Amino acid sequence: MTDDDLEAQLRAALRPIEPEEGFAARLGARIARERALRPPLALRFLWVPAALAATVVVALLVAHERELQVERAGLAARQQLIEALRVTDEKLDLAYRGVNDAARRRAAGDTGV
């Protein structure tokens, strides 16, 4: 095959072809149909605010649960603290009473009562 033959074949293959009758109208109608079927932009990205809202709700629920856990632990610690101080107080009271009794007995002995 000569260069001229190749060029002739290429020219034949790449020659401009006129579209069929009504091609532009069919293409326009198809584009319009597909555009009509496609949801609007706002609807297409509706999942974004929905996902954001779901994330916020989950985060709030987790934070609330954590707060409840801290509150439960805090109330238990408070209860333990009060109990510890009650026992401490009770035993100090026992010691104070013992000291006081001894002092009273000494005072009574001193005065001859």
Partner 1 sequence: MRTVKLTALLVPALLAALLAPAAQAADARLALPDFKALEAKASDSVSVTLDSSLIGLAARFLDPNKPEDAAARQVIAGISGIYVRSFTFDADFAYPREQVERLRQQLSPPRWQPLVQVHNRKDRNDVDVYVAVEGSRTTGLTIIASEPREFTVVNIVGSVDLEKLHQLEGHFGIPKLNLNEQQQK
Q: Which residues bind partner 1 (CB under 8 A)?
A: 70-71, 73-75, 77-78, 80-104
Considering the complex, state which of residue 12 and residue 95 has its C-beta at the smaller distance from partner 1: 95
Considering the complex, state which of residue 33 and residue 97 has its C-beta at the smaller distance from partner 1: 97
What is the DSSP annotation of 75-97? HHHHHHHHHHHHHHHHHHHHHHH
Considering the complex, state which of residue 26 and residue 72 has its C-beta at the smaller distance from partner 1: 72
From 69, 65, 66, select the one nearest 77 (Cα to Cα).
Answer: 69
CB of 112 to partner 1, least distance (A): 17
Q: Name the region of 2 (left: φ>0; alpha: ψ -120 to 50; beta: rest).
A: beta
CB of 45 to partner 1, least distance (A): 44
CB of 73 to partner 1, least distance (A): 6
